[in-house]
Amino acid sequence: MFTSLNRFFPRMKLRRNVKLTTKTDIFCHLVLVIVLPIVLLYDFIVVIPQYHSPGGYVYAVTVICIILLYVNAMTNLMACMIVDTSVDHERIKDFGAEDDEYTNWQHCEICDALAPPRSFHCSQCRTCILTRDHHCFFTGCCIGHQNFRYFTCLVVYSALLSSILMFYNLKHFCLLMSPLFSAVFLSALTLNQILHNTVLSLNLIYIIFSVGMIFVHAPLVLRGELSWERDLKDKHNYDAGIYYNLRSIFGQHMHIAWLFPLFASQLPGDGYNWKLITKDKSTETMATLRSRQA
């Protein structure tokens, strides 16, 4: 289905069928792809013209910035969904799993197959996920080795977009609601105020999720850690330094990869080979880990 897109996703397997499997996934995904454009249209037509004259330079720049952020967020959302993050159990057979260096590998009881370190079985996706971080309800798929870059960009662009929208929506809220505080509460609400309060509430949910995700994930990403590894008592160390940790997510062209999801940037590791992991930060280990990523 997505074979023509292969050049944008080097050495990545693309999903043949993208479908949302659970009711929560469907609900969250639809909220994002249907409600967000409605909020944008409302802001373009009702809110922003109150502060910048439509057809003027500032209005045009503001709208273009918002559209660019929206397109980028949605393209990253789609990239997240079409990249296949599952473990290729057939490929594992070529790795020679009997080797001593593969002692960190595990056996997935559900798939009844060998799974690489840091992979985890997802009950919603019904498969083992390579370097699994978590199952994302908005994308309806797991975030893992191949699509972490797109997820990170989705979150960051969503946070920027929701912040700009919140700036205008809050400003408009103050304008609309100021007479209310000198009048009778609630009974004074007009249709415009109710509509705007609804949009503001949706905007608030969007900003809480996106900015909250940044606070949760940014320290983990910089430490080279996955969400579920944070609470492990006896954990291995995958921290190769901030630059290399970011490179393992954004790929070899990380300096431009964050700009747009279709800028191809091959990942340095394959997500299977974690045999150089150790529990300490010895110079030798760090050097080897970095050379593997080079």
Q: Which is nearer to Zn ion, 142 or 267 (CB)?
A: 142
Residues with a catalytic annotation lie at: 136
Per-residue buried b or exposed e for 67-84, using 16+ beta carbons within 10 Å of the residue's own CB: eebbebbbbbbbbbbbbb
Q: Which is nearer to Zn ion, 135 or 149 (CB)?
A: 135
Judged by CB under 5 A, which stretch of 50-58, 101-109, 203-211, 240-248 contacts Zn ion? 101-109
Q: Which is nearer to Zn ion, 128 or 154 (CB)?
A: 128
Minimum separation from the CB atom of position 242 to Zn ion (A)? 28
Residue 251: closest CA among 274, 238, 268: 268
State the Cα–Cα distance between residues 231 and 75, nearest whole angstrom: 32
Asked whether position 142 contacts Zn ion by CB under 5 A, the answer is yes
Asked whether position 160 contacts Zn ion by CB under 5 A, the answer is no
Q: Of 29, 118, 135, 149, which lies in the binding site for Zn ion, with binding defined by CB under 5 A?
A: 135
Q: Of 12, 73, 114, 128, which lies in the binding site for Zn ion, with binding defined by CB under 5 A?
A: 128
* Identity at 246, one-letter amino acid code: L
Query: Are the CB atoms for 237 and 274 separated by under 8 Å?
Result: no
Asked whether position 108 contacts Zn ion by CB under 5 A, the answer is yes
Judged by CB under 5 A, which stretch of 25-33, 134-142, 144-152, 208-216 contacts Zn ion? 134-142
- Which residue do the tokens 């997505």 mark? 2
Asked whether position 12 contacts Zn ion by CB under 5 A, the answer is no
Q: Of 43, 66, 80, 121, which lies in the binding site for Zn ion, with binding defined by CB under 5 A?
A: 121
Minimum separation from the CB atom of position 145 to Zn ion (A)? 13
Sign of the Cα torsion 24, 250, 65, 217 reads positive
Per-residue buried b or exposed e for 180-217, using 16+ beta carbons within 10 Å of the residue's own CB: eeeeeeeeeeeeeeeebeebbebbeebbebbbebeeeb
Minimum separation from the CB atom of position 142 to Zn ion (A)? 3
- Which residue do the tokens 């997500």 mark? 271
- Contact residues: Zn ion, CB under 5 A: 108, 110-111, 121-122, 124-125, 128, 135, 142
